[in-house]
């Protein structure tokens, strides 16, 4: 089912999410809802708190690598449960990021170019991979959501001050 998004100012976006201890039918349905909502909204990914659920689950649609012009390659949506990120590369990359929960604000964020991720799949199996490029950026962005962190928290404080009026407008519009 396609879910309504929550927007900047909603408390779920600032909550450190709880681990999922059991793959129940409710968790399977949440995973399906994340996939359907991300596809409907054309999101690169979507984390559970963005639809109001404060559990450690997100979906990603980016693959490793980039196309010939340097843009992300879409792949079938993949669910990550209780992800753990580690071993970030020393090489960094700065690129614009947006967020479905903060519509219209794209900000330059610097992140490691590669990162290791360990997660549980919907069958309860532990998976691992080395994510690179756009996929790594997306996994870090979505994982931030599980810790109550938004991409705007990772920008320079002077830039953050500049966008504060737009953020106040969003908060008032979506969370009156």
Where is 164: in which H helix or E strand?
helix 157-174
Residue 135: phi and psi, rounded to 5, are -65, -45
141 marked as binding residue: yes
Choose, from 97, 107, 114, 142, the residue flagged as catalytic: 142
Strands 72-86, 92-97: pairing kind: unpaired
Active site residue 25: no
**Secondary structure class of 151 (helix, strand, coil):** helix
In DSSP notation, 14-63 reads GSBPBPP-S--HHHHHHHHHHHHHHHHHT-SEEEGGGGT--BSEEEEEEE
Q: Would you say 68 and 32 are in contact if contact means Cβ atoms under 8 Å apart? A: no
DSSP code at position 158:
H
> Which of 22, 166, 27, 159 lies closest to 94, judged by CA?
159
145 annotated to bind ligand: yes
Known binding-site residues equal 99, 141, 145
Question: Which residue ranges make up the annotated binding site for Fe cation?
Answer: 99, 141, 145
Task: Give the catalytic positions in this structure.
Answer: 142
């Amino acid at each position: 089912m396609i879910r309504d998004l929550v927007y900047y100012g909603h408390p779920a976006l600032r909550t450190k999410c709880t681990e999922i201890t059991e793959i129940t039918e409710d968790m399977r349905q949440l995973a399906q809802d994340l996939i359907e909502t991300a596809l409907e909204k054309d999101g690169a990914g979507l984390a559970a708190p963005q639809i109001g659920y404060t559990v450690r689950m997100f979906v990603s649609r980016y693959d490793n690598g980039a196309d010939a012009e340097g843009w992300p390659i879409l792949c079938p949506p993949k669910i990550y449960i209780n992800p753990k990120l580690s071993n970030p590369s020393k090489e960094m990359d700065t690129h614009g990021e947006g967020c479905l929960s903060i519509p219209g604000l794209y900000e330059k964020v610097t992140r490691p170019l590669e990162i290791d991720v360990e997660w549980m799949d919907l069958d309860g199996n532990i998976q691992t991979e080395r994510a690179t490029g756009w996929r790594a950026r997306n996994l870090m962005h979505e994982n931030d959501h599980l810790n109550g962190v938004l991409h705007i928290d990772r920008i320079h404080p002077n830039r953050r001050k500049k966008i504060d009026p737009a953020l106040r407008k969003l908060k008032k519009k979506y969370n009156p």
